[in-house]
Each structure stands twice: as C-alpha cells, then as structure tokens.
Amino acid sequence: MQLAVELEELGTQIIEASRFLEHAEEELSLRIIGQRDVIRRVFIAMLVNGHILLEGVPGLAKTLIVSTFAAAMNLKFQRIQFTPDMLPADLVGTMIYNPKDLEFYPRKGPVFANVILADEINRSPAKVQSALLEAMQERQVTIGSQTFSLQEPFMVLATQNPIEHEGTYLLPEAQVDRFMMKVIVDYPSYDEELEIMLRSATNARKVPVRAVVQSDDIFRARTLIDRIYVDPRVQRYIVDLVVATRKPAQYGMAELETMIEYGASPRASIFLLLAAKAHAFLQHRPYITPEDVKAIVYDTLRHRIRPGYEAEADNIKPADIIRQILQHVQVP
C-alpha cells in the first residue's frame, strides 16, 4: 500500500533533514552513556520550540546532557545557577551608567543565549522565576525601556531536585505549564553505570564535542515538522486524553474524579500535538500515529495534572493517573 504522493515526498525530505539529529546523537553518545530517552526529549523540544523541566536527583548527568547538546548543536550555551539571593537583573540584564557620555547602556544578561540551563530553578524566589518564564513565553526581554528579542533557537532546560524541598520556592502551576515537557531523569542501568564508571574514572582529557549541526538544520526541520500530517482521528485522540484529565467520568473513570484536583490546560493539547509531530519526525514518519502521542504523553501531561487530596493520601502520582487514562481512552 502506498502513501499519498505528498506524504511520500515529505517522508523523503524528513529522512534527509533528520540526518543532523543522528550525527548529534552520535556526538552526544561519546560523552553521555544511557539517558537516551532524555536526549530524545531534548531533541523533541528543540524541534518544536519548547522548553523542558528536568527533574532528577543530583549526579545523573543533567547538566552534562544539556552542555554537550548545546556544543554538538553549535549553539550558545549559558548555565545559570539559581540561588535564593538572585535578582531578575542577574538573569535578564540591567542598565549600566556610563559616566563618559552620561548615558545608560543596557548590559544583556545570561538569558541572551540559545540554550539556557536554569540549574535548580526552584532555589530562587518567584520574581526571578517569573522573569525567566516570561522570557520563555514572550521570547523577548525588556531592559529599562528597550525590548530585545531573544535569538532563535531559544530553549530553556530547567532542572529541579525532587528530594530537597527545604529552602526552595515551588514553581507555581501557571509557570510550570509553560514547560512543554517535564522529563524525569532516572538512574542508569547496571551496565550503563559500569561504563560510566570506567569511562569517567580517569585523568585523561574528556573527548571534545564537535559542533555537527547548524542552526539552519534546526529551522529546516521545524518547517518540515509543520507539514507532518495529523489525521482528525489522532487530533481527537489527543483532545480526548487531555479532556479525560479534566472530566474522567465522561471516559468511564468516575473513580478519578476525586483523584484529580485539576486537569491539563489547553496548552497541553497544543504541546502534545507538537511533541507528537516531533516524535514522528524522529521516526522519519510524515504522519502521526497514536504511538507518537503515547510516547510523549507522560512527559507532556505529568506536570499539568494536580492530584487531589485523596490521590495524595493514597500516594497516587500523576503518572498513575495518566496510565489509567491511557487504559480507558480508546485508541483510534
């Protein structure tokens, strides 16, 4: 059975245009062992202009993934360590007075880069968090009275530690919603850990990362992703999944009504579709299937569902709720 001619052509173009990701993946594998899913999620977010919240205990190579990714992608990378005494100006920049010509000049902050690693974002107060999240949303920054557009591609990868909550400022739901995905960085497998240990426990210099991608590759991929075909059945499947988080009883899950305090916002539907498109692109497919949706649904919805009191009492996590929803919403 043949695909429609346009999709056949698109498929060929996608295979051609996605080669840079294979090169980037190879380059990343020289420095990073395992964490393939995390790397794929980072690619997905970059392909559809999204931002990622990485959650994991310290020492799981979160920073290494992001810095290696930026280097391989030939993108300007900035790491910002969020601290409680940080001010918005430390992030976006400030006006500096020049006594020579008696003028104020803007000094751009570290947010003016392509890839930002906001390390431990929950350690700084809400003012700083909202300054970054505003930049993420608007993709522009105002210093004094001047507004500056952020350079594309612009991607924020924020990290937070799930085990330490003392002295942290929990990200408000409205701000967490701006992250396209919340990716859980898990421990490596036994074999991976063995390889990490052998490769890292040496005084030899680390393998340098080559820049194998150009910004144009990313922009070209984005154009092709926009053309990926989405059947109305898949569109409805996405909306069904998101609506099921708000009205589970409609989908035969009355027991979830009390488990969910509030469900995912419409932003979830948008990001779910975008991420599914990017996932299909990574699979070299010119169309989305429900498999693409299922592949990224946990990462896209887990931070958008707030479990209710009963769920917390029963230690039911958003991932458990999503699993149940997937088991009840019929696949087209």
Residues that bind other proteins (CB under 8 A): 1-4, 7, 229, 231, 233-234, 286-291, 294, 326-332
Q: How far apart are CA 136 and CA 130, in angstroms?
A: 9
Nearer to other proteins, 156 or 301 (CB): 301
Q: What secondary structure does DSSP assign to 196-257, as a single string?
A: HHHHHSSSSPPPPPP----HHHHHHHHHHHHT-B--HHHHHHHHHHHHHHH-GGGGT-GGGT
Question: How long, in residues, is the chain?
Answer: 332
Q: What count of other Cβ atoms lies within 10 Å of the Cβ of residue 187?
A: 12
Judge contact between 38 and 185, C-beta under 8 A: yes
The nearest distance, CB 55 to other proteins, in angstroms, is 26
Nearer to other proteins, 248 or 286 (CB): 286
The nearest distance, CB 173 to other proteins, in angstroms, is 29
Nearer to other proteins, 10 or 117 (CB): 10
Q: How far apart are CA 300 and CA 279, in angstroms?
A: 12
The nearest distance, CB 95 to other proteins, in angstroms, is 53
Q: How far apart are CA 120 and CA 82, in angstroms?
A: 6
Nearer to other proteins, 53 or 241 (CB): 241
Judge contact between 82 and 118, C-beta under 8 A: yes
Q: What's the burial of 7, exposed, middle or buried (CB within 10 Å: 0-12/13-18/19+)?
A: middle
The nearest distance, CB 324 to other proteins, in angstroms, is 11
Nearer to other proteins, 30 or 230 (CB): 230
Nearer to other proteins, 3 or 316 (CB): 3
The nearest distance, CB 245 to other proteins, in angstroms, is 16
Q: How far apart are CA 25 and CA 34, in angstroms?
A: 11
The nearest distance, CB 6 to other proteins, in angstroms, is 9
Judge contact between 151 and 108, C-beta under 8 A: no
Pair of tokens at residue 325 = 């929803």
